[in-house]
Structure 1
Amino acid sequence: MRKVIYGINLSLDGCCDHAKFGGGKDILEYFTRLMDGVDLIVYGRKTYELMVPYWPDAAKDPNTTKAEKEFAQAFDGIDKLVFSQTLTVADDKNTTITHANLGDEIRKLKQQPGGNISIGGVNLPLQVIELGLVDEFNFVIHPVIVGEGRSLLEAAGLKESLGLELIESKILESGCIALHYKKV
């Protein structure tokens, strides 16, 4: 069975608005490695429109850094599935748009042969988490307290607590801590 993996950057106080804190080479390298074994990325419309065309263009831009180029190339080479009620046309050659039921579609995808399924953003992943369909979580905690902004789980409708087991922790050069958990 395919695994659904979720990765996100967070501040120490739980803010998930990446515009409130910076990133760096080591963070891009971490997320590039996270794409190993992924053959499908699932987004909602908002996150998709943040990622595309930015990363496909970066893959072709000779002025991007090595870390940016490696992430961009990994990202660009993976199929994407976008859940949207309003989007009808994809800006990316390997993107499919669906209006299907999120839970039903994720369950079906997990049963199909293939690599891991990565989900990104906030709103769509919260729904998948609420449905109990996320198998692994990757949190990159940035060494900053922003004091404002959206908290990752503030709008979550979890009916019960979600038990996680730490698989790996790693301190990145930037001082960020990468935490990899699996659902128990």
Structure 2
Amino acid sequence: MRKVIYSINLTIDGCCDHTKGIADDELHHFYANLVREAGVLAYGRITYQLMVPYWTDIANNPDGQPSADVAFAQAFDATEKVVFSQSLAELTDKNSRLVRTKPEDEIRRLKQEAGGPILLGGVTLPSYLIQRGLVDELIFVVHPVLAGDGRRLLEGSSLQEQLTLVDSRVFQSGCVVLHYRK
């Protein structure tokens, strides 16, 4: 059975806005490796549109781009993606599939297939799946930043659950990776 893993960047005060953290080579290499290990990336519409065409363009036109960005872009471009959306008419990259059914139904089906983990990105879809007990592991990359404002993870949720820390790592930038398992 495949695992469902959620990974996200957070500031120390819990903000999960992608513009509030540090985007350096070490972080891009970390995420490139995480994506390479994944069998499927699962996103909602907003995250998909943040990622595509930005990363697919870098994968297809790497000249002049930092090597860490290219490594992530190529890993991202090569990995199968499942995108949950009721409003998108079509997807523009080669390895993506649009899903209009309930996310929990498709994730349960994907979990039963052989292959690498299902890696979740974004905020809304993972929060929805966490509240339904479908996420097995969480990887938080905590940035040494106080954002002061912005969206918070699991905002409005009353979920209470004890997690087990299975790994941690500190980057040169001061970012700390915390890997938890249910």
Structure 2 residue matching 1:70: 3-state secondary structure:
helix
Q: Match for 1:139: what amino acid?
A: F
Partner of 1:59: 59
CA distance in 2, matches of 1:180, 1:60: 31
Partner of 1:124: 125
Partner of 1:3: 3
Seen in structure 2, the aligned counterparts of structure 1 residues 165 and 91 have a Cα distance that, compared at 3 Å, is same
CA distance in 2, matches of 1:98, 1:127: 16
CA distance in 2, matches of 1:157, 1:120: 21
TM-score, structure 2 normalization = 0.96
CA distance in 1, matches of 2:71, 2:142: 22
Structure 2's unaligned 5+ residue stretches are: none
Q: Match for 1:119: what amino acid?
A: L
Deviation at 1:115, TM superposition (A): 1.1
CA distance in 2, matches of 1:135, 1:20: 26
**Structure 1 residue ranges (4+ consecutive) displaced by more than 6 angstroms after TM superposition:** none
> For 1:30-56, what per-residue CA distance to the aligned partner results, in whole angstroms no more than 9, with x for missing partners?
111212321110100010000001001
Contact 2:8–2:141, Cα closer than 8 Å, also in 1: yes
Count of equivalent residues: 181
Structure 2 residue matching 1:23: 3-state secondary structure:
coil
> For 1:61-95, what per-residue CA distance to the aligned partner results, in whole angstroms no more than 9, with x for missing partners?
31110100000000000011100011121011111
Which range moved further: 57-66 or 68-77?
Answer: 57-66
Partner of 1:30: 30
Partner of 2:112: 111
Matched-pair identity in %:
49
